[in-house]
Each structure stands twice: as C-alpha cells, then as structure tokens.
A and B are shown apart, each in its own frame.
Chain A
Amino acid sequence: MTNVNSKKTDLLLRRKFRLGEFLAENVIRSVSFVSFAIIVLIFVFVFRETSQIFYPKDSTISEQYLQSESYGDIPEEGEAQTEQYGSLLKEKVDVADIENLTGKDWQPVGEKPKYGLLPLFIGSLKVTLMAILFGAPIAIFAAIYSALFAPKKIREFIKPTIELLASFPSVVIGFFALVTLATIFQDLFGTTYRLNAFVGGFAMALAVIPIVYTITEDSLVAVPKYYSEASLALGATNWQTAFFVILPAATPGIFAALLLGFGRAFGETMIVLMATGNAPISSINPFEPVRTLSATIGAEMAEVVFGDMHYSVLFLIGSLLFIVTFLINAVAEFYVRAKLMKKFRGE
C-alpha cells in the first residue's frame, strides 16, 4: 500500500524535462566562464609575445610578422617598408638579455638598442607616488567629511559630484594637464621643462582621488553604528569619535583604497603620455621629465616592427604592469576581506 502511494507522489513530483530551460541554464553556466577565460587569454597572449625575448623565433617564422604599422598608410607602401625593416633587422645587434634589460638607458632605436627598464620604472614610481601624495590626503579628508561630518543634504550632493570625477576620461585629464596645468606650474615654479613628473603626478592625483574617496567613504560608512554610539555615550565629542574610533576601525579599508589608487596610477597611460614629457631620465628631481612604463608602450608600440625584439620588450613591460597591478589588487582584496570584514563581524 505504502509502496503504491510513494510511486504516485514520485510521479507527481518528478520534474518535466524542458529543453528550452535546459539549454538556457547551460548557456548561462558556460557564458559565465567568459570572464575567467578572458583573464587566462590575457595572461597567455601577453606572455606569449613576451616570451620571444627568451626564445627568439627563427627568422622564417618572424618574417611573417614583419609588417609595418598601417595607420593611415596606403597598403602598397607597407610592403616596401617591410623589406626595408627586414634588412635592417639582420644587421643590428638586437639582444634583450638580463644585462641589457636592467641597464640605465632606454634607447630602443639604433645600431645597438638599449632596453634598460630602470629609468622607466623610476618614472612610473615617481609619478605614482606623487599622485598618492597629492591625491590621497585630500581624498581621505573629503571622505571623512562626507561620511562623518556633512549634513545629509550636503552629503547627497557631494558624493555623486566627486564620483563624477571618476567618469572624466583620462585623455581629458591629460589634455587639461598638458595645456593648462603645465603652464600654471611653469609660471609658478619657473621650471626649465614645461612638462615634467610634477605636472603628471598632479594630474594623476585627479584620477586617483575618486577611487580613494569612494573606497574610504564606503569603509567609513561600513563601521557599525554601535562603535560611534558607544563612544558618544562615553562623552566623546563628534570629531573625537570620528578620529579616534571610526577612523582607526576603518584603517584596513583606507589602506586598501590607497593600494587600489596606487594600482590605478601605476597603470594609467594617457595622462602620463600627455603630461610628463616622456624623456627616459633616471633622476629623483620631480621637475624633470620622466617616461613611465605605460607611456612607453603607448608611445612606441605604434612605430615598432611586429615580431621585433623591441616589440617583445614592450610586451614585457605590459606583462610587468599586469603582474604589478594583479599583485596590488590581490593584496588589497585579501587585506580587506581578511581584516575588515572579520573585525566587523566580531570574529
């Protein structure tokens, strides 16, 4: 008796097979892997082009890749150029070994190309640190104001306005730095070079501010209410609570904000390409022109011969940027997850 009953309910509860649904759900499942696939593809293809530094292709294969850039060129012209470049390649001594890559000179064009990444690295670091130095304090204080001090009405106006800065295209910020900031700073400081690391760093601060602001603001707001209520109940004033209770509680978030800002500035291209003067000089003087890693790719990739050593070195720089920002993001995320979230859950 019971057996029959259970069979009946079994029939009732069994799900009808619907082909459309089956297909739709599987499409969703497989499509969601796309972003993972993209990461793998980026990793594979950027490193594939880089690897030619260490395992140069034999000439028969690389001939295929010897096409000149064709921006605006007429195709017929390209063929003639290919031959020209081809003969040039055979003559020059073009190796990018460790010694060459760690050198102090970046002269990728010439009889004996020098691919020293040191000046580029210093340039990137210089601009990035300056951007953080100018941008971070302003962004953090602005976040403190809008999260802790501002009346609700003003806060609702400030937050979207500052976040609007994030939607500024970097080419517009770069343009602003190139035509306006550079002139202002030259008049102000009387520098020899109109475009220099200082101008680039200052402009970059404009790109870093919205990131640092948003994440800092979020982590300040995320601090549980009872922290501040307890502090206020003990007689602390508003700003004492803000500074000695809420701010310390949100430090992991602020640290993550700084890291992400650093990552953004390190990889940003258009601003530095337009505003830093692009001279590969290794010095610590902030008023000298610099050339950053990202700007080097942006400036030289269009003129390089595909498959050339110079081309591979530019991809190497891309891989470096990829690795650095990857590590920075991983640390920031791990740090926030591990510290901030645990703390607030009271674990």
Chain B
Amino acid sequence: MNNKYLGKSIVIFSFVATIMIVVSIVYMVSEMYLNGKDYLTWEFLTEAPTKGMTAGGIFPAIVGTVLLVILMSIACVPLGTITAIYLNEYSNKKSIITKMIRFAVNTLAGIPSIVFGLFGLGFFIQFVGSGMDNVFSEPGQIQWGQPNILWASMTMAFLTIPIVIVSVEETLKSVPDELRAGSLALGATKWQTIKKIVIPNSISGILTGAILAIGRGAGEVAPILFTGAAYFLPYTPTQLTDQFMNLGYHIYVMATQSTDVEATKGIQYATAFILLACTFFLSFIAIIIRYRFRKKINI
C-alpha cells in the first residue's frame, strides 16, 4: 500500500519538476515579450539609438551582431568540418594523435567563455595585433593592436569550433559504411569517396553545426567584453579594425551601466526579446534539420 503511494508520488514529483522547467522557460520569454512589446516596431529594428541611448532603435547592434557571426562562421565552420572529417574518416581511432585532438576538443568545449575573452585580449590584441602593427603600420600608430570586430569574431570562432565538430561528426558517423565500401569498390579513391559520397551525405550536419554555432556566437557576451564590443558607436563597422555594437552587450550595458536604467527598461526588454527570438529561431531550424535527417536515415 505504502509502496504504491511512494511510486505514485515519485512519478508525480518527476512530472512536476519537468513542468517547472517548462513553465520557467515560458515565463521568461513572456516576461521579455510583454514588457518590451510596445517597443517592437519596425523603427526599433532599423534606427540607431538617439537621445543619449534613451530612445531610438538597435539597428547598429543588430548589424554588429550579424557581422560578428558571419566573420566567425567563415573561420569556425571550415575548421570544425575539416577536423570532424579527419577524426571520423582518416584518423586511426587508437592513435595518440587522435586522442590528443579529441581531448583538445572536449577541453575546448568546457573552457569558460570569459577565459576565451582573456585569451583574445592576450593573444589576438596584445600579440598578433601588436605584431601586425610593428610590421604594417607606421611607427606609433595603433591599428590592429586594439579591440576590433576581427579579433572579437576570431575569439568567438575558437569558442564555437567544438560545436561544429560535434555536430558534423554525428552525421558523419551515421553515413552507412556500405556507401563508403561501394564507392571504394567501384575504384574511387579515398578522397573521391569523401568528396562525392561522405560530404554530400552529411551536409545537414554541417548546416546544423553552423546554425548552432551562430546561435551560440550571437548570444555570448563574455568573450567580446574586451575584444571589440563597444557601448555606443554612431556608425556601423565597415573595416575589420572597427569596433562594433552587439545585441547581448547592448543589453548588459543598458541594464547595468546606463545613466537612466529605469527610462530604458522597455528598450532593454525589447532587445532581450529580439536576441531570444533570434537564438530560438536558429535552434528551431537546427532541430528541424536534425529531425528530417534522422527520419531520412531511419528509412
């Protein structure tokens, strides 16, 4: 008798825990939407901030974020894809080199994002940037050795490489070995097999990886705190050496360092909602691609 109630209560308790998580997600999203919906207009998306950041839109922040993730993807998607191809197609699973790379990828995925920020500052700005200034710029002029969009997106690319690798590997693994064997048996070389059979069959994984990486890169703020994000810029970046505004950073500074936090509450909520909507949209697409791919594989 007692046992029966215990069992029931465990099932109910685990159900309640699940509901609690779902409710908190819904609550967070609706909180952002309800408080920011008055600001969600077309003008808000296409205008620059005005009146000392207390009015106007978030256009430069959107452009900055988009440019950041584009530059980031150019670096991280090819690097991640190639690494995944090596790990799954070429490497000997037991070799020391493979183990080293795998360990590196796992470690990279666990490093706190703020450490990437420090690394970007110490490596890209202080080392690479200063070095480039010594070579390319006129003496005394600092062009590369300061925070800019290039260093910020490279830092972000390093952060997102593991995401691409994991996603691409997952699809590479699910490409049936019969396909590879068939291609090789017909006389194709290993590289031809990879180029013509393996990669076309794992496009969905590369796409999912890219989308997930972009979603992460768009939302992450800590790595760009001191590698290129700016509080306010009257222009959108046109050169790699420009600083940029960023949606996440915009929320952070508006909520903590703005001169009039109360007056800009609505803008903050609306910006947070836009950022949330973007990342949700991206992960939603990723889920759909994955779902379709799994269906295809199962048939």
- Which A residues form the contact surface with B (CB < 8 A)? 15, 18, 20-21, 24-25, 27-29, 31-36, 38-39, 41-42, 45-46, 48-49, 65, 67, 69-72, 75, 137-139, 141-142, 144-146, 149-150, 158, 160-165, 167-176, 178-180, 206, 209, 213, 237-240, 242-243, 260, 263, 266-270, 273-274, 294, 297-298, 301-302, 306, 314-315, 318, 321-322, 325-326, 328-330, 333
Please name all residues of chain A whose beta carbon is closer than 8 Å to the beta carbon of B231 when the two chains form the complex. 71-72
Please name all residues of chain A whose beta carbon is closer than 8 Å to the beta carbon of B280 when the two chains form the complex. 164, 167
Please name all residues of chain A whose beta carbon is closer than 8 Å to the beta carbon of B230 when the two chains form the complex. 71-72
Contact of A175 among B121, B233, B268 (CB under 8 A): B268
A-B contact pairs, 28 of them (CB 8 A): A39-B107, A41-B123, A48-B122, A72-B230, A72-B243, A137-B17, A142-B17, A145-B14, A158-B18, A161-B25, A164-B25, A164-B283, A167-B283, A169-B275, A170-B220, A170-B221, A171-B275, A173-B28, A175-B255, A178-B256, A206-B24, A243-B10, A267-B111, A268-B113, A294-B114, A297-B118, A298-B225, A329-B107
Q: Are B28 and A168 in contact (CB under 8 A)?
A: yes
A-B complex: 7 closest residue pairs judged by Cβ atoms: A267-B112, A169-B219, A32-B86, A141-B17, A145-B14, A239-B7, A329-B110
Q: Are B119 and A42 in contact (CB under 8 A)?
A: yes
Chain B 1-32: CB-based contact to A (< 8 A → 1; otherwise 0): 00100111011011111101110110010011
Contact of A38 among B13, B90, B127, B158 (CB under 8 A): B158
Q: Are B226 and A301 in contact (CB under 8 A)?
A: yes
Number of interface residues of B (CB under 8 A): 94
B279 within 8 A of A: yes
Smallest Cβ-Cβ distance to B162: which chain A residue: A35
Q: Are B107 and A239 in contact (CB under 8 A)?
A: no
B185 within 8 A of A: no
Contact of A39 among B104, B122, B276, B282 (CB under 8 A): B104
- What total count of A-B pairs have CB within 8 Å? 272
Q: Are A34 and B79 in contact (CB under 8 A)?
A: yes
B181 within 8 A of A: no
Question: In this complex, which of A38, A42, A243, A326 has the most chain B Cβ atoms within 10 angstroms of its Cβ?
Answer: A38
Q: Are A267 and B24 in contact (CB under 8 A)?
A: no
B207 within 8 A of A: no
Q: Are A39 and B108 in contact (CB under 8 A)?
A: yes
A149-B11, A179-B265 known; A35 vs B108 contact (CB < 8 Å): yes
A34-B79, A329-B107 known; A45 vs B127 contact (CB < 8 Å): yes
Please name all residues of chain A whose beta carbon is closer than 8 Å to the beta carbon of B146 when the two chains form the complex. 67, 70
B60 within 8 A of A: no
B40 within 8 A of A: no
**Chain A at the B interface: SS class:** helix
Q: How far is the CA of A42 from the CA of B251 in the complex (A)?
A: 28
Q: How far is the CA of A314 from the CA of B219 in the complex (A)?
A: 24
Q: How far is the CA of A269 from the CA of B118 in the complex (A)?
A: 12
Contact of A32 among B17, B82, B122, B243 (CB under 8 A): B82
Chain B 99-131: CB-based contact to A (< 8 A → 1; otherwise 0): 011001111101111111111011100110000
Smallest Cβ-Cβ distance to B31: which chain A residue: A180
Q: Are A70 and B17 in contact (CB under 8 A)?
A: no
B165 within 8 A of A: yes
B72 within 8 A of A: no
Q: How far is the CA of A139 from the CA of B24 in the complex (A)?
A: 13
B203 within 8 A of A: no
Q: How distant is A292 from chain B, measured CB to nearest CB, in Å?
A: 10
Please name all residues of chain A whose beta carbon is closer than 8 Å to the beta carbon of B161 when the two chains form the complex. 34-35, 38
Please name all residues of chain A whose beta carbon is closer than 8 Å to the beta carbon of B218 when the two chains form the complex. 169
Q: How distant is A66 from chain B, measured CB to nearest CB, in Å?
A: 12
Please name all residues of chain B whose beta carbon is closer than 8 Å to the beta carbon of A149 when the two chains form the complex. 11, 14-15
Q: How far is the CA of A325 from the CA of B283 in the complex (A)?
A: 26
Q: Are B119 and A46 in contact (CB under 8 A)?
A: yes
A142-B14, A237-B7 known; A169 vs B248 contact (CB < 8 Å): yes
Smallest Cβ-Cβ distance to A158: which chain B residue: B18
Q: How far is the CA of A199 from the CA of B83 in the complex (A)?
A: 41
Contact of A41 among B79, B119, B215 (CB under 8 A): B119
A141-B17, A239-B10, A274-B256 known; A31 vs B118 contact (CB < 8 Å): no
Smallest Cβ-Cβ distance to B290: which chain A residue: A160
Q: Are B11 and A239 in contact (CB under 8 A)?
A: yes
Smallest Cβ-Cβ distance to B286: which chain A residue: A167
Q: Are B255 and A28 in contact (CB under 8 A)?
A: no
Q: How far is the CA of A171 from the CA of B248 in the complex (A)?
A: 6
Q: How far is the CA of A69 from the CA of B125 in the complex (A)?
A: 12
Q: A266-B112, A298-B222 are in contact. List 11 more A-B contacts (CB 8 A).
A: A31-B79, A35-B161, A35-B162, A41-B123, A75-B142, A164-B283, A168-B25, A169-B221, A171-B272, A267-B115, A298-B225
Contact of A31 among B10, B86, B119, B283 (CB under 8 A): B86
Question: In this complex, which of B15, B189, B275 has the most chain A Cβ atoms within 10 angstroms of its Cβ?
Answer: B15
Q: Are B31 and A170 in contact (CB under 8 A)?
A: no
Contact of A209 among B8, B21, B283 (CB under 8 A): B21
B252 within 8 A of A: yes
